[in-house]
Amino acid sequence: MRRITIFGATGSIGQNTLDLIDRDRDAYQVVALTGGQNIDQLAKDARHFNAELAVTADPNRLAELREALSGSGVDAAAGPDALIEAAARPADWVMSSIVGSAGLAPGLRALENGAALALANKESMVCAGALMLRTAKTHGGTILPVDSEHSAVFQALIGEDLDAVERVVITASGGAFRDWPLEDLAKATPEQAATHPNWDMGQRITIDSASMFNKALELIETKEFFQIDPAKIEAVVHPESMIHALVGFRDGALMAHVGPPDMRHAIGFALHYPDRKTLPVERLDLVALGQLTFRPADEVRWPALRLARDVMAAGGLSGAVFNAAKERALDGFLDRRIGFQQIAEVVEEVLSRVSAQPGHIDAPITLDNVMHADHLARVRADEIMNK
Ligand code: NAD
Ligand code: MG
């Protein structure tokens, strides 16, 4: 039996992962499941899958979790340290699907155990790509991309020589506001931003899709994960979300990964890698689909894409600053302290302030330095939003 741990088990990726595990229960022993505020879901799944341990990120919810698990034989724990302890329990395969930079430390700890880390938490790569790759290499672990675009690129690269890659094209749906007149964006509400045309995902990534910060993070993730020159990485708007990414080679071949928008493909690919097993995803009817369309990724409508280029050029800890500033600015938008278009303005201002302070962006990429840069960026974002 394969030992499996899921960080962020109660979220959208976590629940899709459990759906796949549930279809082949005897093949897996669930070691740990973690969640946040959704104690009922966490306890229900921990019981159903007979997990060894359930952890909530919130220390104030421990008593409630204990109560919900009483008599089940599942251990309960809470708080950031408990997440690290869960990551330290031996497991063969670990899903990293916490949202935000909070997912970095548990994922790193799992890599230190030599686990195969299925990485949905793109923030880990954006904040600390070099550290993630180094840790995997040192401890004999592997990192398998779960972001659909990166799973697509990974699959297109199987058996290929990275030197032969001319371009990587990451597709973007364009999110909730892709067809809105630019002048209406100032009035966009969190509720409007949190509806996605094609994908069913957590609230934060859905709003990041509308602002294209999700795609910005993914461009940086592409650079970090595949160690590809940023000049070779492009974004294109593809409203149907059927092609997840394309890899172009020096002989002119362009390999596309095509499929209906269902994260269980990328999760299942990472779960069974290097095998391909049958997955419960819809098969594409090309004739019914009829056509696929593409539009330019407009950097005026979506300034996040321009900022991603700056971050890729600056390197170092600028990804950690960029991500944390975005997380805080998104909180500000959700709390209605700032408007939709101010999200990018806050992030740009934080990047410029932190970059102007020597010793931050160019500090070595260690967990402490990343978390320090993350903290500093949040403080700067709050200063800017409270002004
Ligand atoms: P979600 O909001 O649905 O779930 C997030 C999970 O993380 C929940 O279990 C929540 O309890 C937990 N969590 C939240 N804050 C936490 C904290 N501070 N500490 C510990 N746990 C915390 O999010 P999601 O849509 O499942 O996305 C998860 C990750 O996967 C994100 O990094 C996202 O960018 C990435 N991703 C998601 C999708 C998707 O289809 N949902 C696709 C690609 C990548
Ligand atoms: Mg994606």
Q: Is the CB of 21 under 6 A from ligand 1?
A: no
Q: pTM for this structure?
A: 0.98
Residue nearest to atom 42 of ligand 1 (CA): 147
Residue nearest to atom 39 of ligand 1 (CA): 201
- For β-strands 2-7 and 165-172, DSSP reports them as unpaired
Kindly state whether residue 243 falls inside one of the protein's structural domains.
no
Residue nearest to atom 17 of ligand 1 (CA): 102
pLDDT in the model for residue 206: 96
pLDDT tens digits for the chain (387 residues)?
999 999 999 999 999 999 999 999 999 999 999 999 999 999 999 999 999 999 999 999 999 999 999 999 999 999 999 999 999 999 999 999 999 999 999 999 999 999 999 999 999 999 999 999 999 999 999 999 999 999 999 999 999 999 999 999 999 999 999 999 999 999 999 999 999 888 899 999 999 999 999 999 999 999 999 999 999 999 999 999 999 999 999 999 999 999 999 999 999 999 999 999 999 999 999 999 999 999 999 999 999 999 999 999 999 999 999 999 999 999 999 999 999 999 999 999 999 999 999 999 999 999 999 999 999 999 999 999 998
Alpha helices in the chain (DSSP H): 12-22, 39-48, 62-69, 80-88, 104-112, 122-139, 148-156, 190-193, 203-211, 213-226, 263-272, 286-289, 303-314, 318-334, 342-356, 367-386
Kindly state whether residue 359 falls inside one of the protein's structural domains.
no
Q: Is the CB of 105 under 6 A from ligand 1?
A: no
Residue range of the domain that includes 137? 2-145
Q: What one-letter code names the amino acid at 95?
A: M
Give the distance (Å) from ligand 2 centre to CA of residue 244: 8
Q: What is the DSSP string of 158-191?
A: TT--GGGEEEEEEEE---TTTTS-GGGGGG--HH
- For β-strands 142-145 and 243-249, DSSP reports them as unpaired
Give the distance (Å) from ligand 2 centre to CA of residue 171: 9
Measured from the Cα of 123, ligand 1's closest atom is: 32
Mutate to test the pocket of ligand 1, among 41, 45, 81, 97 (most ligand atoms within 8 A of CB): 97
Give the distance (Å) from ligand 2 centre to CA of residue 218: 7
pLDDT in the model for residue 133: 98
User: In angstroms, rounded to a whole number, what is the distance separating the alpha carbons of residues 384 and 387?
Assistant: 5
- Structural domain count, the chain: 1
User: In angstroms, rounded to a whole number, what is the distance separating the alpha carbons of residues 202 and 182?
Assistant: 25
Kindly state whether residue 33 falls inside one of the protein's structural domains.
yes
Kindly state whether residue 39 falls inside one of the protein's structural domains.
yes
Which ligand has the nearest atom to the CA of 266?
1
User: In angstroms, rounded to a whole number, what is the distance separating the alpha carbons of residues 273 and 162?
Assistant: 20
Kindly state whether residue 358 falls inside one of the protein's structural domains.
no
Kindly state whether residue 69 falls inside one of the protein's structural domains.
yes
Which ligand has the nearest atom to the CA of 118?
1
Tokens of 126: 């954006």
Residue nearest to atom 43 of ligand 1 (CA): 147
pLDDT in the model for residue 199: 86
User: In angstroms, rounded to a whole number, what is the distance separating the alpha carbons of residues 263 and 148?
Assistant: 7
Kindly state whether residue 108 falls inside one of the protein's structural domains.
yes
Give the distance (Å) from ligand 1 centre to CA of residue 162: 30
Kindly state whether residue 45 falls inside one of the protein's structural domains.
yes
pLDDT in the model for residue 387: 87
Tokens of 23: 């279809």
CATH of the domain at 13: 3.40.50.720
